[in-house]
Structure 1
């Protein structure tokens, strides 16, 4: 599979998990992770489909993503649509959970302070913009809570950012997780 074929497979892709997993396995088999990350850029009309597949690559073949961690994290600085950003935010949460866990992980040496700052900016941007996108909001909020261990101002500003989403009826799925984070911050 080359770059053109990857694009041709991404273009008609729907959100069905089996299809995303199949394409994920092909991406890994043909060493196409850099090309997949490039297709995640919003300049490509397959950006959100590429992000969906990147999520599966990360979930199923995380070790293959480690050499590309910088490029992956740079996606958080880009204006990716909410559908694609949901996948990236899930990756962010998984990275943060491992990095801030007491057990050692590969991220202990790989995840620089600049990378964490990029994750932080992307998560805050989505928290501000993702009205009505409960999954995006909770992944961003949980990542920000963890990142607040390195950026103390985050814990000061996070409650206000959370509060503005709590009364939105479209965010019912976000409410309980967000309230739990507010309680941890008190």
Structure 2
């Protein structure tokens, strides 16, 4: 029996122990899924996981974000008690490799809210949450971020713009301004978003 399995059975995984376990996390799907299941089976670990995620630890913070992304993909309802903490701390993230999974989580929530019309998301995602998400997405659209972060941001802003009229014109301006200087990946996503905005 591994140390992790023993701790799971005894349900005594502390923040320090979780931090140590994150040293063993790698980018493979099987590894991230294993630790995501640990979080889903022990929801009390979400608070310390988020504390680690939003720390400035360049090695461990991204690993915490990978796990949280996988856990939310598997069961998005686990984020509800932590929405304030998660959304309010997005703007504090400094580590690039932690931003991508966090923005994927945001995209998941936003798509479920606006596209899927999920009643659970609609009940929990407040106007203040959406305003904060909008602010972070625009900040990261205008910063030197990786393509994936910008792509998730612009897709989230597109959906938010179906509710808040001012967002689409601002998003369109930024896309058109930055288009020529951006990567092929950015351009491909931008064209898709612009078509949707202009429909």
TM-score for the superposition, normalised by structure 1: 0.89
Give the structure 2 partner of residue 10 of structure 1: 22
Q: Which moved more, 1:140-149 or 1:160-169?
A: 160-169
Structure 1: runs of 5+ lacking an equivalent = none
Following the alignment from structure 1 to structure 2, what is the Cα–Cα distance between the partners of residues 94 and 19? 21
- The answer to whether residue 58 in structure 2 is matched with residue 29 in structure 1 is no
Q: How many residues align?
A: 184
SS class of match (1:129): coil
1:43 corresponds to 2:43:
no
- The change in CA–CA distance for 1:49 and 1:144 in structure 2 (over 3 A counts) is same
Contact 1:127 1:137 in 2 (8 A): yes
Query: C-alpha distance in 1, partners of 2:118/2:77?
Result: 15
- Deviation, structure 1 residue 139: 0.6
1:52 aligns with 2:66: yes
Q: Is the 8 A contact 1:76 1:121 kept in 2?
A: no
1:93, 1:139 within 8 Å by CA — same for their partners in 2?
yes
Give the superposition deviation at 1:167.
Answer: 2.2
Task: State the structure with more CA Rg.
Answer: 2
Higher mean alpha-carbon deviation, 171-180 vs 88-97, is at 171-180
Counterpart contact for 1:51–1:88, Cα < 8 Å: yes
Q: Cα distance, 1:55 vs. partner?
A: 0.4
Runs of 4+ in 1 over 3 A off after TM superposition: 42-45
Which of 86, 91, 113 is the matching residue for 2:100? 86
TM-score by length of 2: 0.83
Q: Over residues 25-66 of structure 1, what are the superposed CA-to-partner deviations in whole Å (9 max), with x where a residue is unaligned? A: 112222201111111113344222211111011011222222
User: Which segments of 5 or more consecutive residues in structure 2 lack a partner in the other structure?
Assistant: 1-12
CA distance in 2, matches of 1:108, 1:166: 33
Partner of 2:5: none
CA distance in 1, matches of 2:175, 2:96: 18
- What whole-Å deviation, never above 9, does each CA across 1:158-186 have from its counterpart, x for those lacking one? 112112442236x2122122112112223
